[in-house]
Amino acid sequence: MAETASLVTVDTDPLAGLPGYVLRRAANAMMAELAERLGKVDLRISDATVLLLVADRADMTSSEIGKMLDIQRANMVPLLNRLEASGLIRREPIDRKSQAIVLTDEGRKRLIDVRRITETFEADLLARIPDEHRDHFVPALQALIG
């Protein structure tokens, strides 16, 4: 597990009282830790996210994936090409215009690793939140997206 950054306080960082600043710092620290964990199975966060998203679907197109993950088309193409070249996904026709992104057998095997890593990561993340705030943590973050 990656070392966590020391607690940032207003005494040492004059920006530490700004919610947006602290949220960005927290997000960066958590994503760095998740990236390190996924890197051990040779995956990026974006790779793992796509595998999780299409895991049980046979009808999700690249444009739907891009919309759900807020990834621009120009960035989706290399992402999906990388996953396809790695043998983790394949494209299957849905109709004459659309292709579904589906997991290959190898992709399903890697999904087991992805789920194990992300479940452990999520549990570790929540363990850092004081008990009295855990029930409100995700809803508070969702309110910011909203």
pLDDT at 100: 95
Q: For 92-101, how does the pLDDT look when each residue is reduced to its tens digit (9 = 90+)?
A: 999 888 999 9
Tens digit of pLDDT for each residue in 123-142? 999 999 999 999 999 999 99
Contact partners, residue 21, CB within 8 Å, separation at least 6: 15
The Cα–Cα gap between 108 and 104 comes to: 6
Would you tell me how many other CB atoms lie within 10 Å of the CB of residue 53?
A: 15
Return the pLDDT at 51. Answer: 98
Low-confidence ranges of the chain (pLDDT < 50): 1-4
Give domain limits for the chain. Answer: 19-121
Q: Assign domain 19-121 one CATH number from 1.10.10.10, 3.40.50.720, 3.40.50.970, 2.120.10.70.
A: 1.10.10.10
| Cβ-based neighbours of 116, under 8 Å, separated by 6 or more | none
Report pLDDT for 9: 64
Q: What is the pTM (predicted TM-score) of this model?
A: 0.84
